[in-house]
Amino acid sequence: MANVRTHKGITPQFGERSWVDESAVVIGDVQMGEDCSVWPMTVIRGDMHKIRIGNRCSIQDGSVVHITHASDYNPGGWPTTIGDDVTVGHKALLHGCTIGSRVLVGMGCTVMDGAVVEDEVIIAAGTLVPPGKRLESGYLYVGSPCKQARELTDKEKTFFKYTAANYVKLKDEYLNGDQ
């Protein structure tokens, strides 16, 4: 596939039943788990550090997932790591950050270098998570820069697995040619 590219001898690896739209681009040191989906016009670029994506993750249209390279300013750099059952909304930017499991990254969010998003977090659409910020589990975050808005409801916490499963189902339609 022309949209899955080797860089410096490292080719992206995909778990079983994962799907990458033909207009998306995945480059280099990227490992993705099972039942993941990468939607149109998305770029996942592991060219100067690694990107690890768990199971049942959906990286939606126009999103960018990149890393922070190692340098004199940041000797170790920062990979980007995404846990399981994560939905990354349209046009999100994840850059050298850690995203836990069961997280919803809203449309148009930016999560910057060294930021850590713990498990079970909702990041509202358009939110900016500044470099090095830690988002505590169980909360909704909003704004630019982000602020903790409130605790998540029990209903919201069930949404993480629901939305992940919904995108697995939709991805399967594409894999099976049912579009």
Could you tell me the residue ranges of all domains in the chain?
Answer: 4-171
Question: Cβ-count burial of 156 within 10 angstroms (0-12 exposed, 13-18 middle, 19+ buried)?
Answer: middle
Residue with structure tokens 């590219």? 5
CATH of the structural domain 4-171, one choice from 2.60.40.10, 3.40.50.880, 2.160.10.10, 2.60.120.1130: 2.160.10.10
- The tokens for 87 are 């939905």
- Do the beta carbons of residue 143 and residue 157 sit within 8 Å? no
Q: Does the pTM exceed 0.75?
A: yes
Q: Return the sign of the alpha-carbon dihedral for residues 110, 103, 98, 23.
A: negative
Task: Please give, one letter per residue, the 3-state secondary structure of 62-75.
Answer: CCEEECECCCCCCC
- What are the CA-CA distances from residue 81 to residues 99, 100, 141, 143, 147 (Å)? 6, 8, 19, 23, 22
The confidence score (pLDDT) of residue 178 equals 72
Per-residue pLDDT of the chain (179 residues; tens, 9 = 90+): 679 999 999 999 999 999 999 999 999 999 999 999 999 999 999 999 999 999 999 999 999 999 999 999 999 999 999 999 999 999 999 999 999 999 999 999 999 999 999 999 999 999 999 999 999 999 999 999 999 999 999 999 999 999 999 999 999 999 998 76
Within a 10 A sphere around the Cβ of 169, how many other Cβ atoms?
10
